């Protein structure tokens, strides 16, 4: 299977590196500066794992000059970079190409299916605890790392989903095909907006927030709001998953912060509209009150306006 990984950051870089290390035909589509750094240092995974490989790299200009169709496109970019990324990898999309996005939320699906057709896009959910360190290496912070995928219209796993899952599993990736990838995407959205709102509103890690009066109550209320939206959309959280999420967002001493929080405190643009604006808009349409998520959305929009001014 000929695989193009769009982006070599903390998520795409990790899963792409696993595939490349297993001997799969993997190419990374990256920006020129990232390409230069990777050619100099290699693609390194550090932290809980320590290994290095020399990846096959392409820039957008190189792909455009010699377009080649790929069987699988693993798309792992921030929502703010989605429009540019679609232009960059478009020359790699042929009649049989399958695109598996690893973005949170749902707004990206409209953009991808509108540009490339619904038949080329699967749903995807990535759960991995990684970040890029000061050297640009992929720092793995915890053992959690799995990738779910599936057809957006549900039903039994299709042959192409089964084939992709086999490739992922052969690379040592915990690949899953849930009964409904759309439900899995909703549940990931619930978690990521809860932890994003909690850390952004309180300006601290999960552990720092829960160490102070009112922190655990805030975490619980945010989870309840996000879960209510998911339930109203037809995707209620099972009790066991709710309890697991609650345990994570109320954990004493937890250093957990999402990438959105790191962008916020570093004065970088965030994925506010993709993650929060879309969610609260759907909540309004569904008649679900989300005052705390509305507050987090407003705060992040103020930040966004400031850094983009």
Q: Give CA–CA dist 30/130, Å, rounded.
A: 18
Mean pLDDT of all residues in 142-148: 84
Summarize pLDDT for 179-191 with one digit per residue, the tens: 999 999 999 999 9
Tokens read off for 90: 């478009």
Q: With cut-offs at 50, 70 and 90, classify the pLDDT of residue 72.
A: very high
Q: With cut-offs at 50, 70 and 90, classify the pLDDT of residue 131.
A: confident
Considering only 150-164, 212-226, 265-279, which range has the smallest mean pLDDT?
150-164
Whether residue 133 is found in the same domain as residue 21: yes
Q: With cut-offs at 50, 70 and 90, classify the pLDDT of residue 142.
A: confident
Predicted confidence at residue 254, as pLDDT, reads: 94
Whether residue 205 is found in the same domain as residue 105: no
pTM equals: 0.93
Mean pLDDT of all residues in 59-84: 96
Q: How far is CA 199 from CA 74, 115, 142, 291, in A?
A: 29, 34, 19, 16
Whether residue 173 is found in the same domain as residue 190: no
Mean pLDDT of all residues in 110-120: 96
Q: With cut-offs at 50, 70 and 90, classify the pLDDT of residue 141.
A: confident
Q: Range of 300's domain?
A: 183-308
Whether residue 133 is found in the same domain as residue 36: yes
What share of the chain in percent tops pLDDT 90? Answer: 88
Whether residue 272 is found in the same domain as residue 167: no
Average pLDDT, the chain: 95
b vs e for 249-267, b when ≥16 Cβ sit within 10 Å of the residue's Cβ? bbbeebebbbbbbebbeee
* CATH classification at residue 209: 1.10.1040.10
Name the strand (E) or helix (H) holding 176: strand 174-176
Whether residue 163 is found in the same domain as residue 251: no
DSSP one-letter string for 143-173:
EEEEEEEE-TT-SSPPHHHHHHHHHHHHTT-
Whether residue 120 is found in the same domain as residue 191: no
Tokens read off for 290: 């989300």
Q: How many domains does the chain have?
A: 2
Q: With cut-offs at 50, 70 and 90, classify the pLDDT of residue 48.
A: confident
Mean pLDDT of all residues in 78-103: 96
């Amino acid at each position: 299977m000929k695989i193009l990984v769009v982006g070599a950051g903390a998520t795409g870089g990790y899963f792409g590196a696993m595939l490349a290390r297993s001997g799969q035909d993997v190419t990374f589509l990256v920006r020129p500066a990232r390409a230069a750094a990777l050619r100099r240092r290699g693609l390194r995974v550090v932290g809980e794992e320590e290994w290095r490989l020399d990846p096959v790299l392409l820039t957008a200009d190189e792909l455009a000059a010699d377009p080649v169709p790929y069987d699988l496109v693993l798309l792992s970019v921030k929502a703010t970079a989605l429009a540019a990324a679609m232009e960059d990898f478009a020359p790699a999309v042929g009649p049989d190409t399958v695109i598996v996005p690893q973005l949170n939320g749902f707004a990206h699906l409209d953009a991808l299916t509108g540009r490339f057709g619904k038949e080329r896009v699967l749903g995807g959910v990535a759960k991995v605890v990684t970040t890029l360190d000061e050297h640009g290496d992929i720092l793995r912070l915890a053992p959690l790392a799995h990738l779910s995928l599936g057809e957006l219209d549900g039903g039994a796993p299709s042959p192409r989903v089964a084939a992709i899952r086999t490739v992922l599993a052969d690379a040592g990736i915990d690949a899953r095909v849930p009964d409904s990838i759309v439900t899995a995407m909703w549940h990931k959205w619930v978690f990521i907006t809860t932890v994003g709102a909690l850390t952004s509103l309180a300006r601290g890690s999960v552990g720092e927030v829960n160490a102070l009066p009112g922190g655990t109550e805030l975490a619980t209320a945010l989870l309840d709001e996000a879960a209510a939206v998911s339930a109203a959309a037809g995707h209620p959280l099972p009790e066991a998953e709710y309890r697991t999420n609650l345990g994570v967002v109320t954990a004493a001493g937890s250093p957990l912060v999402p990438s959105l929080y790191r962008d916020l405190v570093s004065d970088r643009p965030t994925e506010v509209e993709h993650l929060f604006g879309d969610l609260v808009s759907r909540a309004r349409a569904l008649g679900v009150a989300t005052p705390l998520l509305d507050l987090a959305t407003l705060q992040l929009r103020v930040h966004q306006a400031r850094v983009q001014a």
